[in-house]
Chain A
Amino acid sequence: NAGVTQTPKFQVLKTGQSMTLQCAQDMNHNSMYWYRQDPGMGLRLIYYSASEGTTDKGEVPNGYNVSRLNKREFSLRLESAAPSQTSVYFCASISGRRAGSSYEQYFGPGTRLTVT
């Protein structure tokens, strides 16, 4: 049981290049998330997928696209990378174990992206 996996772990891009960040979970979770983490900003939601085939914008969606390929996989694509997208990207999924009106989020180890 690997939990949430992300690839790659590190990436350096030049301005204007494109790339896709991959995320997969093996916990049979319905909902998945993409966040970015910048110093002093905590985690900010980029996109959210409540279930297979559905996606919804978060707080900072500009410059990104997502694809919920199936229940397990949720990818994040940067079509034309910009230096402002230098960040650490985390994928997460929600457990089925309910605590009141909230669910535990399980996070992947992150992808450290630098755009020069």
Chain B
Amino acid sequence: TQLLEQSPQFLSIQEGENLTVYCNSSSVFSSLQWYRQEPGEGPVLLVTVVTGGEVKKLKRLTFQFGDARKDSSLHITAAQPGDTGLYLCAGLPRFSGTYKYIFGTGTRLKVLA
């Protein structure tokens, strides 16, 4: 059962535009991570958020964890072709007692030059 829904599933934008990707669930997570995956490679961690309402910035990327720790968003300002890739959120269910992560369905971003 997939507990993390990402939207949109696909996004194609022009260089310089802004975009937001959403990761939503009805479950509570103790932490949430965002990964980026390039074609033919494994995902690479971008950020981890652990506190409800937390905001983290990584250059032009802004990540937010919802107050109730059920959702998260990734905002990219002035997108560049190098931002192209598959973005995945991954949550650690609260009180799971293990390190079994739940991954979102993914958002495939293409930034056109």
Contacts and interface: CB of A to CB of B under 8 A. Distances in A.
A42 B100 contact: no
A56 B50 CA distance: 25
A102 B30 contact: yes
A103 B33 CA distance: 9
Given A42-B103, A50-B98, A105-B101, A99 B44 contact: no
Interface in A73-116: 90, 92, 94, 99-105, 107-110
Given A40-B106, A100-B48, A100-B50, A58 B41 contact: no
Contacts of B106: 40-42
Contact of A45 (B6, B45, B101): B101
B105 A105 contact: no
B44 A107 contact: yes
B41 A104 contact: no
B43 A48 contact: no
* Chain B at the A interface: SS class: loop
Q: Which of B4, B9, B100 has the most CB of A within 10 A?
A: B100
* Chain A at the B interface: SS class: strand
Interface in B89-106: 90, 92, 98-106
A44 B92 CA distance: 13
A19 interface: no
A19 B100 CA distance: 25
Given A101-B50, A102-B30, A110-B42, A48 B105 contact: no
A43 interface: yes
A99 B33 CA distance: 10
Interface of A: 4, 31, 33, 35, 40-45, 48, 50, 56, 58-59, 90, 92, 94, 99-105, 107-110
